[in-house]
Amino acid sequence: MNQTPTFHVPLFGDKSITHRAFIFAALAKGESVIRNVGGGADLASTRGALRALGVSIERLDSFSWSVRGVGGVQGFQEPVEALDCGNSGTTIRLLAGLLSGCSFPVTLSGDLSLCRRPMSRLERALSPLGRGLETDQGGAPIIVGGERSSALTHQDQELIIIDTLAASAQLKSAALLAGLSDPRPIVVRESRLSRDHSERMLSALWGSELKDHSSESLQTSLPALKPALKSLDFTSPGDFSSAAFWIAISALSPPAAPTITLDNLNLNPTRMGLYHLASRMGIRLEAQVKECRLGEPVGTLIIYPRAIHQPLKAVNLSRQEVVDALDELPLVALLASFAEGQTTVSGARELRVKESDRIEAMTEGLSRLGVEISSTEDGWVINGDPQRSFDGSYTVESHGDHRIAMCFMIAQLKQSEGLLSIVDADCLEVSYPEFPEKYIQYRARLEEISKVSKIKA
């Protein structure tokens, strides 16, 4: 019997989860160890900022770090200069929430792209706690803490409700981290469920469930008395947003492609939008949860090669699917370009204020490749064509955005002749620096398989 070849992709820890692991470890009392940490620049930004606050963080080996926690926000030292958050929206927004509880002022800044992103929305997370925030015309640099947070001690036990008015995990997490240094009971509510890593990790470290994500209520409650955080010994599970590229790679590969397997992967339902969309598009995949780690489901993802004569199918996304696949929507646009029928994505306005305007970046790049795509205010309309392939030489812009760069690297699978070059593809270093090497190996495997099948034929 013919066995389908298998291609195994090891993945480093999820970026969102690992940022949070470093932050909670810094707040804990004692020594924590965080393992399976990849080389992405965004995580280096979080480590750099925490070090500037006096947290000792040391490399144990290539992929593990030890963190000596300072026992709470009061244990941080006043940084001598602005904290550099690089390109990382998660670093700046989560730390802004956390550091709003400092008795001294802290300035947070980053690269040009980060400074252009909206920061005044953080007011929604901070003002119910009586904490102020200064922005530079709505963007970074921002200043929190010090005199902006004069009301750090409260005698009353009044319940504070924070409505983030959005499905934003960065905003929700900023509110929760700010709430850690407030002695009142706090409820953080959101309009739709965004990724819930902060509440899972905090619940696991405190040993009590904080979130209520039943359909009527999307809220997380912090008690008045905040227990001290326990130190952690944590192996970060693989990043589903990195696995997502492999789902797209498999979908755009020829039917004789290998089965792709990814172990030790985070299978948090709030991150798996692309899994369900891909399955509706006709991609065969299977997720097996094997364990729970600091509140996160972890397991294996298997992506089977496409069946012959079964084109991808267009999809329409619900509002919740847009949130669950937020960072993967550029990949949805790419896959939709090769699907039978029209795909409409709406309700994704947030994509305009990510590392680039992802709505325009994908529209511009895919149109350049001849795809029938038009942008709307909050998404795309894409007329797919399963027969589409590119046979010219093209140059597309990454707009300095790691996810856009990787999307177009994957589009190269549909290149029959010529060359598809991506301007500033190196920006993928911020999240998945290991990608190019693994992708080259995969394409070499495809080449081998196609040579063997030609010989057999």
Closer by beta carbon to ligand S3P, 90 or else 363: 90
Go through 160-175 and write b for each residue having 16 or more CB atoms within 10 A of its CB, e for each that does not. Answer: bebebebbbbbbbbbb
Tell me the C-alpha distance between 229 and 53, whole Å: 18
34 sits in which H/E element: strand 29-35
Tell me the C-alpha distance between 19 and 15, whole Å: 6
CB of 42: closest distance to ligand S3P in angstroms? 9
Closer by beta carbon to ligand S3P, 168 or else 221: 168
Tell me the C-alpha distance between 431 and 372, whole Å: 29
Q: Are 146 and 103 spatial neighbours (Cβ–Cβ below 8 Å)?
A: yes
318: three-class secondary structure by DSSP? coil
CB of 164: closest distance to ligand S3P in angstroms? 9
Which residue, 29, 295, 72, 87, is CA-closest to 183? 72
Active site residue 327: yes
112 sits in which H/E element: helix 112-116
CB of 194: closest distance to ligand S3P in angstroms? 5
CB of 213: closest distance to ligand S3P in angstroms? 15
CB of 351: closest distance to ligand S3P in angstroms? 9
* 98 to 93, 177, 268: CA distances (angstroms): 9, 5, 24
Closer by beta carbon to ligand S3P, 169 or else 281: 169
CB of 425: closest distance to ligand S3P in angstroms? 19
Closer by beta carbon to ligand S3P, 306 or else 358: 358
Amino acid at 165: L
Tell me the C-alpha distance between 130 and 143, whole Å: 15
Closer by beta carbon to ligand S3P, 195 or else 306: 195
Which residue, 46, 275, 55, is CA-closest to 170? 46
CB of 40: closest distance to ligand S3P in angstroms? 12
Closer by beta carbon to ligand S3P, 55 or else 169: 169
Pull the structure tokens for residue 205: 């470290």
Task: Name the residues that contact ligand S3P, by CB under 6 A.
Answer: 16, 90, 168-171, 173, 194-195, 326-327, 350
For CA atoms 243, 245, 248, 250, give the dihedral sign: negative
Q: Are 375 and 363 spatial neighbours (Cβ–Cβ below 8 Å)?
A: yes
Of 111, 327, 357, 401, which one is the catalytic site residue?
327
* Burial environment of residue 1 by CB neighbours within 10 A (0 to 12, 13 to 18, 19 or more): exposed
Pull the structure tokens for residue 253: 């590969």
| Catalytic residue ranges | 327
